[in-house]
Amino acid sequence: MVATVIGFGGRAPSKVLELLSQAVSSEKVSGVKCVRSQSIPNALLRPPFRTFCAGNNAALNDLIVYCLPTSVSEYLSFNSEANEVRSAILSSDAVVAVFDAKCDDFVGGTVQDVISALSNEDAKKEMLASAAIQALSSLDMMASTQISGPKKQADTVIVVGSGGREHALAVALARSPIVGKVICCPGNGGTAVEGGKITNAEGVNGKQDNDTVIELTKRVRANMVVVGPEQPLVDGIVDAMKVACPDVRVFGPSKAGAELEASKAFTKDFLQQYGIPTARFRTFTKAEEAIAYVESLDENDRQVVKASGLAAGKGVLIPTSKAETIAAVKEIMSDKSFGSAGDTCVIESFMTGPEASCLAFCDGKTAILMPAAQDHKRALDNDQGLNTGGMGAYAPAPVVTPSMHKEVEAMCIKTVQKMAERGTPYVGVLYAGIMCTPNGPSMLEYNCRFGDPETQVVLPLLETDLYEIFTACCDGALDSIDIRFKENTCAATVVCAASGYPESYPKGMEITGIKEANDVKGVKVYHAGTSLDGNSVTRCSGGRVLAVTGLGSSFKGALDASYNAIRHLDFVGSNNESLMHYRTDIAKGVLNKKLRIGVLGSTRGTALLPVIEACASGALHAEITAVVSNKKDAQILDKGRALGATVTTKFIPSKGLSRAQYDAECSAALVEAGAEFIILVGYMRILSKQFCEFWSGRCINVHPSLLPKHAGGMDLAVHQAAIDAGDEESGCSIHHVTEEVDGGPVIVQKSVKIEKGETAESLKAKVQPLEGKAFVEALQKYCGKTVISYADAGVSIDAGNQLVEIIKPACKSTRRAGCDADLGGFGGLFDLAAAGYNSDDTILIGATDGVGTKLRIAQATKKHDFVGIDLVAMCVNDLIVAGGEPLFFLDYYATGSLDVNEAAAVVRGIAEGCRQSGCGLIGGETAEMPSMYSPGDYDLAGFSVGAVHRDRILPNGVAPGNVLLGLSSSGIHSNGFSLVRKLIEKEGLTYDSPCPWDSNCESIGDSLLTPTKIYVKACLPLLKKQLLTGMSHITGGGLLENLPRSLPKGIVAEITGHPELPPVFKWMQQVSGLDDHEILRTFNNGVGMVLIVKSDKVAEAKEILKDAGEVVYDLGVLVEGEGEQVIMKHNLQ
């Protein structure tokens, strides 16, 4: 016989547990099957019931224990269960016991009456059946009224806000059969077209202030207002509503309650006052006092610095050194980077461990915790890039074990109770930001509202009617409702953002593929930054645009659904380019999470040490979460305690308990610690059949012989048996635990030779060291990933493809005669004939270069738009010195982690350089190499090919009397930056500092990033007219090193007219102390290109150059001479 328990959800009433425990122990039923009753199995394991569930695959029969729905909504949603129960009463021999949660008792009988009915007392069975039918009939009448009766409830709910969180709230509320309308104020493009019960408010003009919400509430006669964002709560919307609309329920805390988010200083004091675990902290209102406190700390005492007030989620700085901590204090308190939010500053100790988002429903008296979620704050894969509002999330987060869930819920309950004691009852959602430290959960902060994107990932898991939950919260009756979530279901949300987010990003792009994405099974697309244009086209209006949530029976299934849906989506720019960005690694960690090991042991636990060491070193992708023993003084418990406070270490006495009862209590401890896999290390107990079934395939043991030999014995007796049998070898076996002692499948064996004269003790000494190694080898088969992708190595193929699509228009814009400048092939093609070159008299010229350490400045300032121009300039300026015309260009971009927006900015700069030089950008290579480059670093190389007629190669005909003309540079160009960066550091400046040599530049960084001048279009006419005998590109080595490269032996350049040093070079010379000779061989000093002109062509050359907008200097003349080939006739000015 099997007991089937239906509809208890998160409830585990003691009378139901008592009934099931008695039924199993008296053998009235052999097992318990749970349907939508997720709390029953674990509750049954705990004392005093100590009972295993079993029979989950059995048919619905024998004993049915049904929990009456507590609301019409629940009854309507799961009416099939009631029909199944009704059918069982009328057409089977099953005993049906109906439990009424409202009165916490069975309908029509007691626990003992049900036990009697199971003993074939027909009168008891009929009594219970009659009461069950009557209870179901009452629910039928209530349901009928709600479906079609004149008193049908159809409440109107206003959801305040316009983000993805509010869209998710609206969708969840609309599922309630007692909600008639959900009006979003102001809502977004998604809520505008959601349809059904959901609409956007009319006449609010995008506003959500107190007056607007109150006016709307009165106009539509709303029954409830649900407040999404924190700002209206902090502004006192709940308080204002209570005065203006006292009969309307408002879900959200009062202004006093919202202080938990509005002031981090208040929250930290609150946590400390009531003994809720949090980091050590101090609060300050004066910057100098905060700095003095930081200076008093040890150098290794890392801190986190927070603006106390609301700072749009950006007011938390995480420095890595004392100097950075002081800088963070100044940024918040002195520079006012977060405005008045930084008037008070909180400095707290840095905590380590994974973070979790834990949301709780609160009714002013108590709190009920939802499944924990984990979100991804960084903009880019592998947690790189800037912080955002959240790029994705998943739930339930495995990092929060059942026992930790209880701890966090207790913190939230205590918070609600203490707020009530202070006269400020907290109603609404309490968002606890938790750090899962080695010493247990610790409170990072509170938020006074649902999180985003956590809402989009948690609410789809909710099974209970959200409107009824909110009603219970507002009425202070949370304990009257069962809040339950879907069993065996995971959710994953991936945020699609506009390219460039969280920095500057475009708006107005058309969003395509929304319907197709929503049609993917298990997917819901929630809108955030969207709006409808005049033609009802959905367009991007914010940074985080969509949140795509997938559901599945596993995280892999949920993620597959989300990413399959995203493949249909795009944000299409005005040039038909894709402007959508999303992370490709959401929940990657949970897919590769560590195996959680529980340990049962009775002895010293020597074999556990290699497992502990393998977990610590990473050789085993696992962690030990619990060590349980039947011996109070077992040394294995000391090994568990040494692992830290988060590892459950517990002695469980067995006195007075049956084998199955004891095993159930041990299993309860293991389950609550989150253990998934059990190892028996010197465990001196025979396990019950129920334990073996419960942990089937998930429990292994070590036996000190080569099984199947000598099974069944223990310790020295086994070794003696091997010796007595004359075995030539023995060893140890790791095997699965089954009901047959030592009879489960063998996984790993390690062997040793049995020597002549061996004793049981000496053989044990040889075998025992192998046991730990064998455990590690066996466990490796059950943990770790079976598939390692390119993305796991840190390389994103999708990001690379996205980059190509983004840069295609920029590359296409460089088309010229001879090439299409199209991307996507294996090589770029160029047609010389189409460019006007005859292959018989044409020489190809190649030039390659990079940008050097100027890239460090671009990376430090996050300004990447101009270094691409530098790259092209360094190549094509070299190329024209040989007399050639640049034809095409290729680039090489190498990085540790591909930031699509960053790379696209660089390539757009390269395309601009190609346009300026008239060459086609026909291809390139993007190399993502995590092991070669640090996060945020990239390097560039460029390759340019040009052509020159065979008889026009330069230098050609350079002779005494030729005139030197200098063309002005745009600045430092791309050489000498190792020295430049050193000088900036020497002067105590940063790239954000005001520019000391140019008051028109906002910062030093802006000035230094001025792109290298490209001289191609100015000089090509001179080359075609054959006015030049030579040219010199002034790069690294300056004038003194580069000009001689174009001069034949016996020719000397006399520099008589070097221009005055531009301000940037004067400053560099001043702070460096370099003399004229050294600075002339370091920088270009204002002259970026030198032209060697025939003396009779100087006037014509100058005219052409000036028409091209060039500043031309009469630099000097060539003369005969030996020795140094560049002679300065005057000092630099």
- Active site annotation includes 621: no
Provide the CB-side half-sphere exposure for 1132 (13 A, CA).
21
Q: Which two tokens stand for residue 540?
A: 């991007």
Residues pairing with 920 in the sheet: 888
State the Rg of the chain over Cα.
38
Question: Where do runs of H (alpha helix) occur along 951-1097?
Answer: 977-986, 1004-1008, 1016-1024, 1038-1042, 1063-1072, 1076-1080
From CA 596, how far away is CA 437, in angstroms rounded? 17
Contact between 908 and 806 (Cβ < 8 Å): no
Amino acid at 1087: V
Angle at 808 between CA 803 and CA 814, to 5 degrees: 135
Task: Write out the DSSP string of 97-110.
Answer: EEEETTTTEETTS-
Residues making up the chain, counted from first to last: 1133
Based on the residue annotation, tell me whether 617 is a catalytic residue of this protein: no
Catalytic residue from among 742, 849, 878, 899:
742
Q: For residue 278, list its beta bridge partners.
A: 443
CA of residue 100 relative to chain centroid, distance? 43
Which one of the listed residues 703, 735, 736, 1033 is annotated catalytic?
Answer: 703
CB 955 within 8 A of CB 1045: no
Identify whether the C-beta of residue 926 lies closer than 8 Å to the C-beta of residue 893. Answer: yes
SS3 597: strand
Strand ranges in 162-288 using DSSP code E only, listed in sequence order: 179-186, 198-200, 224-227, 249-251, 281-284
> Is 92 one of the catalytic residues?
no
Helix, strand, coil abundance in the chain, percent, nearest 5: 35, 25, 40
**How many Å apart are CA 60 and CA 38, to the nearest integer?**
17
Pairing of strands 580-581, 595-601: unpaired
Q: Is 86 exposed, middle or buried (0-12, 13-18, 19+ CB in 10 A)?
A: middle
What CA–CA distance (Å, rounded) separates 689 from 36?
26
703 tagged catalytic: yes
- Please, are residues 625 and 596 in contact by the beta-carbon 8 Å criterion? yes
Beta carbons of 699 and 690 less than 8 angstroms apart: no
Using a 10 angstrom Cβ sphere, with 0-12 exposed, 13-18 middle and 19 or more buried, the burial of residue 200 is: buried
Catalytic residue among 701, 877, 1003, 1032: 701
Q: DSSP letter string over 41-85?
A: HHHHHSTTT------TTS-S-SEEEEEPPSSHHHHHHTHHHHHHH
Tell me which DSSP letter residue 244 carries: H
- Dist CA 473 CA 458 (whole Å): 18
Place of tokens 């008592």: 18
Active-site option among 447, 733, 944, 974: 733
CB 349 within 8 A of CB 302: yes
| Tokens of residue 497, six digits | 């953002």
- Please name the residues in contact with 759: beta carbons below 8 A apart, sequence gap of 6 or more: 723
355: three-class secondary structure by DSSP: strand
Q: What is the C-alpha separation between 629 and 193, in angstroms, rounded?
A: 59
Residue 958 near residue 1030 (C-beta atoms within 8 A): yes
- Strand ranges (DSSP E) for 201-308? 224-227, 249-251, 281-284, 303-307
Distance of CA 344 to the CA centre of its chain: 29
The residues annotated as belonging to the active site are 701, 703, 733, 742
